[in-house]
């Protein structure tokens, strides 16, 4: 009676991969073997040589890297454009000769460079005490009612993006025709040691200033405006 043949031994793929990883020089002098190896094509049926597959993988990686690079370049271009818009805005504000001109320059710059159609600069009454003429829109003297509504929009924060209802629009932007439906706004406190009022940026587009948006730009703009309001105090 003949003995049963021993079961055929097969190599474990993971062990082969582990061994090749520890012996990267295995194919040195065995280049012919590399050319004989066939691997599945990643996109079509059939097999290609290992070298062809490597070329395909390298091309895919290059295209992916190129896409990431283009994304980074796009972000850099957007950042540069944002910087230029902010620079031109700040230069226009610094050149304003008085507070009304400051408010007008702010409204113009925000409309032309940041697509913000409505701006209100609510200043504490103390800032207008020494002024001969009443402030001109978009500068307004802060009333108790307007201050209450602006504080409610901030909800205890220094700055915030929020929905802006039609009634609030009429109250806080009396110089701008209200939209038929609620819009959105970004509001920040103005302070330079003392509380000076509020800066309100508004749009009839409810998505322009979403609640989840960062308000760092609005705070920065408010800090600049507050210091300019103090600097432009009328001379007695």
For the ranges 107-116, 123-132, 206-215, which has the lowest average pLDDT?
123-132
Q: What is the pLDDT of residue 127?
A: 84
pLDDT tens digits for range 62-119: 888 888 888 888 777 877 888 899 999 999 999 999 999 999 999 999 999 999 999 9
Task: Inform me whether the pLDDT recorded for 20 exceeds 70.
Answer: yes
Say which CATH topology domain 98-231 has: Beta-Lactamase (3.30.450)
Burial string for 162-185 (b: 16+ CB within 10 Å, else e) reads bebbeebbebbbeebebbeebbbb
Q: What is the DSSP letter of 125?
A: G
Mean pLDDT of the chain: 86
The per-residue DSSP string of 49-111 comes to: EHHHHHHHHHHHHHHHHHHHHHHHHHHHHHHHHHHHHHHHHHHHHHT-SSHHHHHHHHHHHHH
pTM: 0.71
């Amino acid at each position: 009676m003949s003995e049963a043949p021993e079961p055929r031994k097969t190599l474990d793929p993971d062990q082969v991969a582990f061994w090749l990883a520890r012996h990267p020089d295995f194919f040195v002098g065995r280049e012919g073997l590399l050319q004989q190896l066939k691997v599945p094509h990643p996109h079509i049926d059939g097999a290609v040589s290992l070298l062809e597959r490597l070329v395909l993988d390298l091309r895919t990686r290059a295209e992916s890297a190129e896409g990431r690079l283009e994304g980074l370049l796009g972000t850099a271009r957007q950042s540069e454009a944002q910087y230029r818009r902010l620079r031109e805005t700040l230069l226009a504000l610094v050149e304003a000769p008085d507070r009304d001109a400051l408010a007008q320059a702010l409204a113009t710059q925000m409309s032309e460079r940041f697509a913000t159609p409505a701006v209100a600069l609510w200043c504490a009454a103390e800032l207008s005490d020494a002024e001969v003429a009443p402030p001109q829109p978009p500068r307004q003297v802060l009333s108790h009612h307007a201050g209450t509504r602006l504080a409610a929009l901030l909800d205890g924060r220094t700055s915030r993006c929020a929905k802006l209802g039609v009634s609030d629009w009429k109250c806080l932007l009396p110089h701008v025709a209200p939209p038929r439906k609620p819009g959105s706004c970004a509001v920040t406190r103005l302070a330079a040691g003392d509380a000076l009022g509020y800066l309100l940026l508004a749009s009839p587009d409810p998505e322009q200033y979403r609640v989840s948006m960062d308000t760092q730009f609005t705070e920065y703009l408010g800090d600049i405006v507050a210091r300019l309001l103090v600097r432009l105090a009328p001379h007695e």
